Structure 1
Amino acid sequence: MTTPPTSYHVHGAVSAGGHATLTAADQVIPVDASWAADEPSGDPGPAELLAGALAACMMKNLERSSALLGFRYQSAEVDVRARRQDVPPRFVELDYEIRLVTDENERRVDLVHRNLQQFGTVYNTLAAVCDVHGRIVVVPVGTEPAAT
């Protein structure tokens, strides 16, 4: 097992009109950096990227918990809703729901949920400055909807 990095680098570039990209881990991600545009660009903006970072943190730590705790799951989906205020401009709440397809019992699911909250770097960073909370909804194995 390799040691994960402890420092990260992301490069951003923007041209007039708000056409922007981020480059991270050799991937180029389009970003909406426009201001007061008539039409949304369809690309994620900073708020969606921040909520996405929390979702990615939860998914990565679910996989970590699976390896370290022997927690069995088939799949998971994470929805994050971010709420902000205007004055001063900041996020005040991040609410998440994890739909987890597993045959693990409630005690093990609760243990994994505590691990997601306790050991997530992005989770803990955001929880230090705003209300972060959520729930895991267990979907029993064999009852999940078919993928479309």
Structure 2
Amino acid sequence: MTYSIKATSLANKAGEIQIKQSQITFGTTFQSSETLANPAELFLAAFSACMLKNVERFSAMMNFSYTKASVEVQATRLEHPPRMDQINYELTLYSNDDRLNVPLLKKNIEKHGTIYNTIEQSCAIIGTIKTTANV
């Protein structure tokens, strides 16, 4: 499987990523640092999207239902050389389903996530999954 995206930027302007039919604007200037995602935040967004995609994937494979999943991610960046050192996440699943096996879901996310496994090669990942009853 291969992937392809296109990214562009103009001098003193924001950048843009074209992925299929999606456009993602990101910050490249000091002026946009408070309003647009920076590359490190896009990196963490890809990590989060990978986890949420796998929740959907494994809900079918593990035969459980949920109404919503959300993930909060924090990361620690080192300066020399600049890189992510540690990523912490908390994944919350909104579900009343007794078939939801949280330890198995966590194991599957960690074993089968493309972005998760790529990051894990160079950075510590610490995370938890919690469940909350549907409202």
By the TM > 0.5 criterion, same fold? yes
In 1, distance between residues paired with 2:125 and 2:20?
Answer: 27
CA RMSD of aligned residues (A): 1.7
In 2, distance between residues paired with 1:100 and 1:50?
Answer: 22
Percent of aligned positions that are identical? 30
1:17 aligns with 2:28: no
1:30 aligns with 2:61: no
Paired residue total: 135
Q: What residue number does 1:117 align with?
A: 110
In 2, distance between residues paired with 1:73 and 1:122?
Answer: 23
In 2, distance between residues paired with 1:134 and 1:53?
Answer: 16
Provide structure 1 residue ranges, at least 5 long, that are not aligned to the other structure.
1-5, 143-148
Structure 1 residues 1-148: aligned runs within 5 Å: 6-34=1-29, 37-38=30-31, 40=33, 42-105=35-98, 108-142=101-135
Q: Please list every run of at least 4 consecutive aligned residues from structure 1 whose deviation after the TM superposition is greater than 4 angstroms.
A: none
Residues 47 and 82 in structure 1, CA contact (< 8 A), matched pair in contact too: no
Provide structure 2 residue ranges, at least 5 long, that are not aligned to the other structure.
none
Amino acid at match of 1:114: K
Q: 1:54 to 1:70 in 2, by over 3 A?
A: same
